[in-house]
Amino acid sequence: EADIYQTPRYLVIGTGKKITLECSQTMGHDKMYWYQQDPGMELHLIHYSYGVNSTEKGDLSSESTVSRIRTEHFPLTLESARPSHTSQYLCASSEFRRGEAFFGQGTRLTVV
Amino acid sequence: GESVGLHLPTLSVQEGDNSIINCAYSNSASDYFIWYKQESGKGPQFIIDIRSNMDKRQGQRVTVLLNKTVKHLSLQIAATQPGDSAVYFCAGVLKAAGNKLTFGGGTRVLVKP
């Protein structure tokens, strides 16, 4: 059973607010990822990390930023939320030598 | 919000029938492939994987076939059940890129009673 947690599950917030989506894993995985997914649509990689102090942008451009100060924690921040940021954000982690990723339940963000 | 990507195709299947879900990939350098199942309101869950040097792998009620000649991957689900209703994604893993996981387009499977 994978142990990766995202909070909050649902968030409705006004335009211009700063938000941080939390993601934590207890498996000691080096690699962590953030994906963006609209309902019924594909998954798009927006950020990933190979370990502490490592962050890279993914295939889809995003105005969000991430940090990796601790192995188990990979938060995603939007400095000023806009309605175009409305989407589901999925966090995942994997062992360094394996590609199989374990996913959290996701955060469904709505910006009004 | 602005939509990202393409709408997913849908496969309707009668309960008890076999399902075949297809995936085309572009990167022939992928070292192995993974199938994920995503139920409504949840994150994707690992189903089965297959190494690029294999043609077929079987799991519990699932079989994955890999045709490297035409860069095609399929997932077969035997005796489809209502609990199999979900979106299914294939993903390629490239070791040379640090085991980067790249998802392909998914397929929504609807099981009819």
d(CA A8, CA A22): 7
On whether the CB atoms of residues A4 and A25 are closer than 8 A, the answer is yes
Residue B66 to residue B14: CA distance in whole angstroms = 25
Averaged pLDDT score across all residues of chain A: 92
Contact B76, B63 (CB under 8 A): yes
Sign of CA dihedral A89, A95, A96, A97: negative
Are A90 and B43 inside 8 Å of each other by CB?
A: yes
Question: What is the per-residue pLDDT for B3?
Answer: 37
- Per CB-CB distance under 8 Å, the chain A contacts of B85 are none
| B1, B31, B104 ranked by CB distance to A85: nearest | B1
- pLDDT reading at B37 higher than 90: yes
Question: Which of B2, B3, B4, B32 best tests the A interface by mutation, with the highest count of A CBs <10 A?
Answer: B4
Closest CA–CA distance from residue B79 to any residue of chain A (Å): 24
Q: Check residue B59 and give its pLDDT.
A: 94
pLDDT digits (tens, 9 = 90+) for A32-84: 999 999 877 888 999 999 999 999 998 888 899 999 999 999 999 999 999 99
The number of beta carbons lying within 10 Å of the beta carbon of residue B99 is 20
Residues of chain B contacting A88 with CB distance shorter than 8 Å? none
pLDDT score recorded for residue B27? 76
| A1/B contact by beta carbon, under 8 A | no
Name the helix (H) or strand (E) containing B32: strand B32-38
**A61 close to B (CB below 8 A):** no
Task: Name the residue in chain A with its Cα closest to that of B108.
Answer: A40
Nearest to B101 among A83, A99, A104 (CB): A99
Read off the pLDDT of residues B76-94 as tens digits, 9 standing for 90 and up: 999 999 999 999 999 888 8
Is B4–A36 a contact, with Cβ atoms under 8 angstroms apart? Answer: yes
Peptide bond into A8 cis (omega under 30): yes
Q: Where are the beta strands (DSSP E) in A58-101?
A: 65-66, 76-78, 87-94
> For position B104, what pLDDT does the model report?
79
Q: Is A103 on the interface with B (CB under 8 A)?
A: yes
Strand partners for B97: none
Helix count and strand count (H, E) for chain B = 0, 10
Contacts of B57 in chain A (CB under 8 A): none
Number of Cβ within a 10 Å radius of residue A31: 23
At B50, is the secondary structure helix, strand, or coil? strand
Q: Which of B58, B11, B51 is nearest to B34 (CA)?
A: B51
Kindly identify which residue of chain B lies nearest to residue A109, measuring between CA atoms: B1
